[in-house]
Amino acid sequence: MKTLIEALESKIPIERVKHRLIDIAAYASDAGFYTLKPKVVIQPINEEEIQFLFKISQEFTIPITFRTGGTSLSGQSITDGILVDLSQNWRKLTIEENGNSIRVQPGVIGATANIHLKKYQRKIGPDPSSIASAMMGGIISNNSSGMCCGVALNSFHTLKYMRFVLPNQQVFNTENQNDYERFVVDNEDVASVLTQIRKQIFENPALLEKIRNKYKTKNTVGYSLNAFVDFEHPLDIFAHLLIGGEGTLAFISEAVMNTVPEYAFKATGLLYFDDIYAACKEIKSLSEAGAAMIELMDRASLRSVENIKGIPSEIKYLPTNASALLVEFQADTKEVLEKLIYNASQLNANFDIAKNFTFEPKEQAFLWKIRKGMFPAVGAVRASGTTVILEDVAFPVEKLGDAILDLQQLFTKYKYENAIIFGHAKDGNIHFVVTQSFNDSSEVARYEHFMQEVVDLVVKKYDGALKAEHGTGRNMAPFVETEWGAEAYQIMRQIKAIIDPHDLLNKGVIINADEKAHIKNLKKLPSVESEVDKCIECGMPKPRFDFDPTQTHTS
């Protein structure tokens, strides 16, 4: 009988079947804080090879995981089975409809798509901070959003067509009308389950309302149950379940995305407040005034970058409890932009247009560079031997100030003294960063107890989302039922079981019965030479703040 490697090499050239120790070690981690050693890393180049890999996975009963850029933060792109690396191929990109849509393969970098769309004054809807590294396969599979995208312009709502390969090796494309009938006929069991689930949801007013409410704010916990509400045909439902499905149901080989305007005129301002509660009180009015982006930064996050060259000097002298909002208005004409800024200034006397807002692209780019650099900046100064954890939650905007104060109390209780908070305040979506060692059991226990209280705070006290835009991954898989309830979680289990009954496709992600999964396979970062010790494996280099005036900001 052939070994796994022999079976793989019977179809795929040996140079794309990587199983040397150095290859296994290089791919054992992604940008998150978990690590698993794959048995082999494969670099396929076409759908036929993907179908073959599904076949091998099932014949050898070995898990299979697809990965593009590896910038995911929740442990969803690692495996102890077959790791399929798509980052070296799958980079075809076509602009269509004069820039109103773009056809992409999963290996296309998000920023590359935007570069090609720029001359049409368009961009993709999702705008994650990691867009310069994140690839479309991950952006779609995580339903990534970002600073401007909100809930209306994410991958779920901007998908036009999708082509995918099922674990049974069948290929479907929502662009092909004949595939709608073929999907129902050839996958009658799947179509029947999806149809029955939709019926179940619409016959349960409480569940239907819960689903609708959950997606009024950012939410990437579990499968995208809004697919059953927004679509009727099983093929459309399934294609949208793949968005945010984190590669646990099928392989997305191509997507056509509707694009959104990239406005030519922008005004960006950094507004300071006495405390974070005061900043949160202004979010609603700024949003109503038309702000495209509202980014919240607490005093600790500002402190993490205050000594970097070029940072506004006043940041160093802010009070202990101060905070800031980085606000941007966008418009297609200068006149409309000026009107937006004027209207915003009427809401609060502290909003001095001349002082607080800039229309200069290079000054705007620097302000955004500060915001995007906070995560790696914390990593660069962390204690040796610790990792950086970036968590991602969402609260109702009207409760954001209270929720943050409660969260800061948890930082104090569990001695996360250097924790910082920043995020997409317009959507009630905040990220908090803590540095954590996983090198001994007491530290793991501290993290476990802290996360349990975070879950209780977000779900039980504020009815928020445990994952707003980073995907469920491994670290929130044990808490999907906690957030969604038993009936919704059972629906998600049904979806997984009918598509992947042997639980081989990205095993352990989203649906995971192990209530301790989030504290297993943790990445340890031993102290090494100082030249490389600052690396936090986040998928992004440490930000450079010696500003390059030739760069422009892409929202």
Look at residue 1 in the predicted model and tell me its pLDDT: 75
Is residue 433 within 8 A of residue 397, CB to CB? The reply is no
Q: What percent of the chain has pLDDT over 90?
A: 78
**pLDDT, average across residues 65-69:** 97
Q: Write down the pLDDT at residue 119.
A: 96
Tokens 């059972």, located at residue: 490
| Token duo for residue 90 | 């799958």
CATH fold label, 4-85? 3.30.43
| Whole-number Cα distances in Å, 2 to 6, 7, 43, 331 | 6, 6, 20, 61
Which of 78-82, 99-103, 230-234, 363-367 shows the lowest per-residue confidence on average (mean pLDDT)?
363-367
Q: What's the rounded Cα separation, in Å, for the pair 319 and 274?
A: 7
Residue 538 has pLDDT above 60, yes or no: no
Q: Nearest-CA neighbor of 465 among 360, 541, 523, 395?
A: 395
Arithmetic mean of pLDDT, 400-414: 97
Q: What is the mean pLDDT of the chain?
A: 91
Name the superfamily (CATH) of residues 264-474+521-548: FAD-linked oxidases, C-terminal domain (3.40.462.10)
Domain ranges in the chain?
4-85, 93-261, 264-474+521-548
Q: What is the pLDDT of residue 534?
A: 56
String of b and e for 155-194 (b: at least 16 CB within 10 Å)? bbbbbbbbbbbbbeebbbbbeeeebeeebbeebeebbebb
Give Cα 7 to chain centroid, integer Å: 35
| Run of H or E including 66 | strand 64-67
Q: What contacts 121, CB < 8 A, 6 or more positions away?
A: 99, 261, 262, 263, 264
pLDDT of 418 higher than 90: no
Phi-psi region of 134 (alpha: psi -120 to 50; beta: other; left: phi over 0): beta
pLDDT at 536: 55
CATH of domain 93-261: 3.30.465.10
What is the structure's pLDDT at 545? 38
Q: pLDDT value at position 375?
A: 65
Sequence-distant (6+) residues with CB within 8 A of 171 are: 47, 51, 163, 164, 165, 253
Binning pLDDT at 50, 70 and 90, where does residue 549 land?
A: very low
Main-chain phi, psi angles of 464, to 5 degrees: -100, -165
DSSP-assigned letters across all residues of 303-347: HTTTTSTT--GGGGG--TT-EEEEEEEEESSHHHHHHHHHHHHTT
Residues in the chain: 555
Banded pLDDT at 76 (limits 50, 70, 90): very high
**Tokens (6 digits) for 407:** 């969260």
Query: What's residue 499's pLDDT?
Result: 98
Q: In this structure, what are the phi and psi dihedrals at residue 182, rounded to the nearest 5 degrees?
A: -65, -35
Average pLDDT over residues 29-46: 96
Contact call for residues 361 and 553 (beta carbons, < 8 A): yes
Decide: 480 and 511 in contact? Cβ < 8 Å. Answer: yes
pLDDT higher than 60, residue 411: yes
* Most confident region among 169-178, 522-531, 540-549 by mean pLDDT: 169-178
Q: How far apart are alpha carbons 190 and 261 in whole angstroms?
A: 37
Q: How confident is the model at residue 553 (pLDDT cuts 50, 70, 90)?
A: very low
Q: Is residue 380 over pLDDT 90?
A: no
Q: What is the pLDDT of residues 292-331, one digit of tens each?
A: 999 999 999 988 888 777 777 888 889 999 999 999 999 9
Q: Which residues fall within 8 angstroms of residue 84, CB to CB, at 6 or more apart?
A: 41, 42, 43, 44, 50, 53, 64, 65, 66, 67
Rg (CA), the chain: 23
Range with lowest mean pLDDT among 129-143, 148-162, 537-551: 537-551
List, edge to edge, every strand of the sheet that includes 17-18: 17-18, 40-42, 82-85, 64-67
Per-residue pLDDT of 263-303, as tens digits, reads 999 999 889 999 999 999 999 989 988 999 999 999 999 88
φ, ψ for residue 102, nearest 5 deg: -140, 135
